[in-house]
Amino acid sequence: MNAYKTYITIEDPKQVILSDLPFQAGQRVEVIILAKDNQRATLAEELRKLFKEIQAIHADNPLTDEEIAAEIEAYRRGE
């Protein structure tokens, strides 16, 4: 089976027009339509929200330099 992949933007949800296809007139083909999920954009937005939440927590309860240094040392000791 030969495969051909192309991308289009839906302009009218009632019809899809494909043009300049590499097939013969009368040739039988199978058509599968998959919606492109923009997963990267979704993940990036979730990460931005998480950063804002973390920043808000820190703004309400900031850590001192000494507390940060103590946490780093504890991590290095494996605690």
Residue 61 has pLDDT above 90, yes or no: no
- CA atoms of 39 and 29, how far apart (whole Å): 29
If DSSP codes are grouped into helix, strand and coil, which group holds residue 30?
coil
Residue 57 has pLDDT above 80, yes or no: yes
If you average pLDDT over every residue of the chain, what do you get? 89
Which two structure tokens, joined as six digits, stand for 41? 């954009």
What pLDDT does 39 receive? 82
* Reported confidence tier of residue 68, pLDDT bands at 50, 70, 90: very high
What pLDDT digit, counting tens, does each position of 14-40 carry? 999 999 999 999 999 999 988 877 788
CA distances to 5, 34, 45, 63 from 23, in Å: 12, 20, 41, 65
User: Are residues 40 and 34 in contact, defined by beta-carbon separation less than 8 angstroms?
Assistant: no
